[in-house]
Amino acid sequence: MASSRRLITGLCATVVAMFGFGFALVPLYQVFCDITGFNGNTSNIVQAQTQGSDGVDYSRLVTVEFVTYISKGMQWQLTPQVEQMQVHPGQMIDMEFIATNLSREDQVGQAVPSVSPGQGANYFNKTECFCFNQQPLKAGDSASLPLRFFVATDLPQGIQTLTLSYTLYELPAPEQKAKGV
Amino acid sequence: MSTDAAINTGVSDDAHEHHDHKPSGFFARWVLTTNHKDIGSLYLLFSFAMFLTGGAMAMVIRAELFQPGLQLVEPNFFNQMTTVHGLIMVFGAVMPAFVGLANWMIPVMIGAPDMALPRMNNWSFWILPFAFSLMLMTLFMEGGGPNFGWTFYAPLSTKYSPDSTAVFVFAVHLMGISSIMGAINVIVTIVNLRAPGMTMMKLPLFVWTWLITAFLLIAVMPVLAGAVTMVLTDKYFGTSFFDAAGGGDPVMFQHIFWFFGHPEVYIMILPSFGIISAIIPTFSRKPLFGYASMVYATASIAGLSFLVWAHHMFTTGMPVAAELFFMYCTMLISVPTGVKVFNWVATMWRGSLTFEVPMLFAIAFIVLFTIGGFSGLMLAITPVDFQYHDTYFVVAHFHYVLVSGAIFSIMAASYYWLPKWTGYMYDDYLAKWHFWCSLISVNILFFPMHFLGLAGMPRRIPDYALQFANVNAVVSIGGFAFGLSQLIFLVVVIKCMRGKGERASAKPWEGAEGLEWEMPSPAPYHTHTTPPEIK
Ligand code: HEM
Ligand SMILES: [Cu+2]
């Protein structure tokens, strides 16, 4: 039954490989979304681009909107300085969000960004963002969180509005995390 | 494992006086059995028990939905009923029934003395009652059983799930292991244990479709195991595969789940195609039209089933290019499916048809499965799926393909081979009642759901708007009638098993062909101990 043994080994190897494949889908999915911007994943890599002399395309105006969501059960506020603005592609913009911890505990927040439409996500470049870091806030405290971004000049013509949304999540406090692991 | 096979074939090859040496005593006969026919019977009986259990849950669902408003059960319990009903019917009723049929019929059909790995076969069955006891136990745990739908989307199954989720994950792992062992066994048996002269293109189609199904199982059950494992670690061990707060993505869960889920629905229909391809020629008294095209159609359906998973996710905000890709691939699948339907119809064309109960179920299968295929095509059209998605239209679609498709084919197979299994003919009078009651009630139950869905009634909600009241009452009545009709089947099976009825001859169906009809009824405990001659 040598052929039978070889067949069984092959089948078992396939089972193991497919189990691995299920997990391999996780990084594959991330890479795929980063490259294509599907699912609104914004690129953290500043792309090379076609620019005017100072890099700004003054012939075009794009509306950028800001929205925030606080995850269920979390008592924070996250408010953008302005709700929307008009920007020229290539123009570097600085703005701020105000975060307030309204709860009675010291907590750590983490903002996760997403841009829609998804096709525009890759053209929205953040050079500095509070979402790169965790954000600890003492009970009752406020902090102003910086965001610095520009819209790439090669943004497809069809896109006139980009919406940047942040969802704010609560992270387990450091000592709690140590306990959990 | 392979020594298993060696010992087994060795034993059966030297067996001279091996008539009906069944082990004596309940424990040795059933719990320790490695006989493919015993294990096949165990699978079939288990699946029938699960069918009735899952059916009882469906009765709870339909009773709650009989009227608008909340009257019988808590919404959370309602959700547990829809979830566990789905899980039990998919993993406990349909899949084990097919494995049972495979165990019983594949060795007999290909001239093998038993399955290739008999001891593993015993394990793969006995894991199942254990897995389903665990699953059912969760309903009585604090916080209740799984309530997130059979598709267990994250974060419903991670962040918001009951404490029993760990048990659910363990049960799904066990079911997966059982299916994988069953699939390995089927492949090794078909590849290695065919009688001399039984070439691949002489295999009965039931064997072919099961071979392809087994490969699908091996490819996707491990992915399901991966998905539940990620749910487990997300919920209990602080990973964030599906949690955006930690850099994960809940939409990715859907991709992974449906990468398993779509091939899974074909796992539940390909063996049906094999059964129908055995029954239609028998009662048409003509060979199957287009045997080779059937084999290729089955293989291409299986191949394409890996390219269509995102048709379950049209509304998740995929880019247009991806929506179009998945839409066209999905529509492409209906081409090989259509080939099959046309081949069955062509087989019946100008045949001398008779309408014994297996044939009645087979013809009902062809008509009703095709209706389910059509509603599938409607769902495959991306822009309209935005209206249909998560409504009763989807519920109607998959019950047409699964109940009047897969389950009807299992009923057809049971009536077709019961004489071979038990040695007695089924009670024809009761069987006809069973068929006609099932046929009428299944349509009263599921056809109006199309309209409910088109009118916007969402699925998986225990209450609904007033304008849906009349149709829901009709649907519920159909549901109760269908449930009761299955009790007739229970009586028929019990009568056969207890030997009440006409004795069956070796070949009770005049037009039947295949090795199973060349042995007496009931089939002896050991068959093909010397390889049969293949003409
Ligand atoms: C011509 C063939 C088919 C096509 C084009 C098709 C298409 C589809 C589509 C597009 C959906 C997603 C609907 C939605 O959620 O909005 C769907 C759902 C479903 N289909 Fe099919 N289908 C076909 C055949 C089958 C078969 C043969 C089976 C099983 C035997 C099946 C079982 C299911 C199930 C179980 C679901 C619902 C899953 C859930 O959300 O719970 N389909 N089908
Ligand atoms: Cu599908």
Contact between B222 and A16 (Cβ < 8 Å): yes
Count helices and strands in chain B by DSSP H and E runs: 18, 0
- What residues does B480 pair with on adjacent strands? none
Mean pLDDT of B379-390: 95
| Residue whose pair of structure tokens reads 């996500």 in the numeric block | A121
Q: Chain A contacts of B220, Cβ < 8 Å?
A: 18
Tell me: cis bond preceding A117? Omega within 30 of 0 counts. yes
pLDDT at B102: 97
pLDDT of A74-90, one tens digit each? 889 899 988 889 998 88
pLDDT at B28: 80
Name the residue with the closest Cα to ligand 1, atom 22.
B376
pLDDT at B66: 96
Q: Which pair of tokens denotes residue B276?
A: 């129908």
Mean pLDDT of A120-130: 84
Classify residue B424 by its DSSP letter.
B
Residue B28 lies in a domain: no
Mutational pocket test of ligand 1: of B397, B402, B408, B454, the residue with most ligand atoms within 8 Å of the beta carbon: B397
Rg of chain B over Cα atoms, rounded to whole angstroms, equals 23
Cβ–Cβ gap B241/A26 under 8 Å: yes
Distance B216 CA to ligand 2 centre (A): 14
Phi/psi at B481 (nearest 5 deg)? -65, -40
Mean pLDDT of B437-442: 97
pLDDT at A177: 43
Ramachandran region of residue B25, left (φ > 0), alpha (ψ -120 to 50) or beta? left
| Residue whose pair of structure tokens reads 């038993």 in the numeric block | B114
Min mean pLDDT across B3-7, B243-247, B412-416 is at: B3-7
Active site residue B85: yes
Which H or E element spans position B176? Answer: helix B165-192
- If one compares B9 and B77, the residue with the highest pLDDT of the two is B77
Asked whether residue A49 carries a pLDDT value surpassing 50, the answer given is no
Q: How many other C-beta atoms lie within 10 A of the C-beta of residue B419?
A: 24
In chain B, % of residues over pLDDT 70 = 96
Active site residue B404: no
Report the alpha-carbon distance of residue B254 to residue B390 in Å, rounded: 14
What is the CA angle B104-B112-B50, rounded to 5?
Answer: 15
Report the alpha-carbon distance of residue B242 to residue A128 in Å, rounded: 26
Q: Which pair of tokens denotes residue B495?
A: 């009568």
Distance B260 CA to ligand 2 centre (A): 10
Q: Which atom of ligand 1 is nearest to the CA of B151?
A: 41
Report the alpha-carbon distance of residue B485 to residue A89 in Å, rounded: 68
In chain A, % of residues over pLDDT 90 = 13
Task: Calculate how close chain B gets to A31, using CA atoms only, in Å.
Answer: 12
pLDDT at B61: 97
Residue B46 lies in a domain: yes
Active site residue B41: no
Of B337, B382, B414, B476, the catalytic one is B337
Cβ–Cβ gap A22/B223 under 8 Å: yes
Residue B380 lies in a domain: no
ipTM of the complex: 0.84
Report the alpha-carbon distance of residue A106 to residue A118 in Å, rounded: 35
Render B246-304 in DSSP notation, one character per residue: GT--HHHHHHHHHHHHHHHHHHTTHHHHHHHHHHHHHHHTSPPTTHHHHHHHHHHHHHH
Mean pLDDT of B303-321: 91
Task: Give the number of whichever ligand sits closest to the CA of residue B314.
Answer: 1
Cβ–Cβ gap A119/B227 under 8 Å: no
pLDDT of B464-491, one tens digit each? 999 999 999 999 999 999 999 999 999 9
- What residues does B254 pair with on adjacent strands? none
Residue B19 lies in a domain: no
pLDDT of B326-377, one tens digit each? 999 999 999 999 999 999 999 999 999 999 999 999 999 999 999 999 999 9
Mutational pocket test of ligand 1: of B398, B404, B409, the residue with most ligand atoms within 8 Å of the beta carbon: B398
Min mean pLDDT across A43-47, A121-125, B303-307 is at: A43-47
Phi/psi at B178 (nearest 5 deg)? -60, -45
Distance B127 CA to ligand 2 centre (A): 28
Of B30, B123, B150, B153, the catalytic one is B150
Enumerate residues 6+ apart whose C-beta is below 8 A from A139: A101, A103, A104, A105, A106, A107
Phi/psi at A128 (nearest 5 deg)? -145, 135
Is B188's Cβ below 8 Å from some Cβ in A? yes
pLDDT at A37: 64
* pLDDT bracket for residue B13 (50, 70, 90): very low
For chain B positions 237-256, those within 8 Å of chain A (CB to CB) are 237-238, 241, 243-247, 249, 251-252, 255-256
Residue B124 lies in a domain: yes
pLDDT at B3: 40
Mean pLDDT of B72-78: 94
- If one compares B233 and A30, the residue with the highest pLDDT of the two is B233
Q: How many other C-beta atoms lie within 10 A of the C-beta of residue A14?
A: 17
Cβ–Cβ gap A119/B319 under 8 Å: yes
Task: Give the number of whichever ligand sits closest to the CA of residue B306.
Answer: 2
Query: In this structure, are strands A161-171 and A62-70 parallel, antiparallel, or unpaired?
Result: parallel
Asked whether residue B413 carries a pLDDT value surpassing 80, the answer given is yes
- If one compares A60 and B463, the residue with the highest pLDDT of the two is B463
| CATH code for position B251 | 1.20.210.10
Phi/psi at B3 (nearest 5 deg)? -65, -35
Cβ–Cβ gap B252/A112 under 8 Å: no
Asked whether residue B44 carries a pLDDT value surpassing 50, the answer given is yes
Q: Ligand 1: which residues within 6 Å by Cβ?
A: B 151, 265, 268-269, 311-312, 330, 333-334, 337, 373, 376-377, 379-380, 385, 388-389, 394, 397-398, 401-402, 405-406
Asked whether residue B272 carries a pLDDT value surpassing 80, the answer given is yes
What is the domain extent for residue B97? Answer: 33-263
Q: How many other C-beta atoms lie within 10 A of the C-beta of residue A29?
A: 20
Of B286, B312, B389, B434, the catalytic one is B312
Average confidence score pLDDT of chain B: 92
Task: Give the number of whichever ligand sits closest to the CA of residue B272.
Answer: 1
Name the residue with the closest Cα to ligand 1, atom 40.
B312
Q: Which amino acid is at B510?
A: E
Mean pLDDT of B423-443: 96
The 10 Å CB-count burial string (b at 16+, else e) for B317-330 is ebeeebbeebbebb
Contact between B37 and B525 (Cβ < 8 Å): yes
Highest mean pLDDT among A56-70, A95-109, B110-124: B110-124
pLDDT of A134-150, one tens digit each? 888 888 888 888 888 88
- If one compares A30 and B289, the residue with the highest pLDDT of the two is B289
* Chosen from B1, B172, B190 to mutate, greatest number of chain A CBs within 10 A: B1
Q: Chain B contacts of A174, Cβ < 8 Å?
A: none
Task: Calculate how close chain B gets to A13, using CA atoms only, in Å.
Answer: 10
For chain B positions 258-297, those within 8 Å of chain A (CB to CB) are 259
Active site residue B2: no
* C-alpha closest to that of B368 among B415, B410, B403, B335: B403
Minimum Cα–Cα distance from B179: chain A residue: A15
* pLDDT bracket for residue A43 (50, 70, 90): low
pLDDT at B229: 96
Q: Chain B contacts of A170, Cβ < 8 Å?
A: 245
In chain A, % of residues over pLDDT 70 = 83
pLDDT of B201-252, one tens digit each? 999 999 999 999 999 999 999 999 999 999 999 999 988 899 877 778 889 9
In chain B, % of residues over pLDDT 90 = 87
pLDDT of B395-408, one tens digit each? 999 999 999 999 99
Asked whether residue B167 carries a pLDDT value surpassing 90, the answer given is yes
Total domain count for chain B?
Answer: 1
Phi/psi at A171 (nearest 5 deg)? -95, 150
For chain A positions 127-166, those within 8 Å of chain B (CB to CB) are none
What domains appear along chain A, each with residue ranges and CATH number? 38-180 (2.60.370.10)
pLDDT at B9: 40
Of B37, B340, B389, B507, the catalytic one is B340
Residue B48 lies in a domain: yes
Report the alpha-carbon distance of residue A81 to residue B443 in Å, rounded: 59
Of B38, B114, B323, B516, the catalytic one is B114
pLDDT at B18: 46
Asked whether residue B525 carries a pLDDT value surpassing 50, the answer given is yes
A:B CB pairs within 8 Å: 100
Mean pLDDT of B198-203: 93
Mean pLDDT of B49-69: 97
Asked whether residue A40 carries a pLDDT value surpassing 70, the answer given is no
pLDDT at B57: 97
Report the alpha-carbon distance of residue B26 to residue A18 in Å, rounded: 39
Mutational pocket test of ligand 1: of B82, B327, B401, B403, the residue with most ligand atoms within 8 Å of the beta carbon: B401
* pLDDT bracket for residue A71 (50, 70, 90): confident
Active site residue B150: yes
**Distance linking the first and last C-alpha atoms of chain B:** 32
Contact between B290 and B273 (Cβ < 8 Å): no
Active site residue B459: yes
Residue B212 lies in a domain: yes
State whether the Cα torsion B402-B405-B408-B413 is positive or negative: negative
State whether the Cα torsion A96-A99-A100-A106 is positive or negative: negative
Asked whether residue B26 carries a pLDDT value surpassing 90, the answer given is no
Q: Which residues surround ligand 2, an ion (CB under 5 A)?
A: B 262
Of B36, B37, B194, B262, the catalytic one is B262
Asked whether residue A48 carries a pLDDT value surpassing 80, the answer given is no
Render B28-59 in DSSP notation, one character per residue: IIIIS---HHHHHHHHHHHHHHHHHHHHHHHH
Distance B187 CA to ligand 2 centre (A): 25
The 10 Å CB-count burial string (b at 16+, else e) for B226-241 is bbbbbbbebbeeebbb
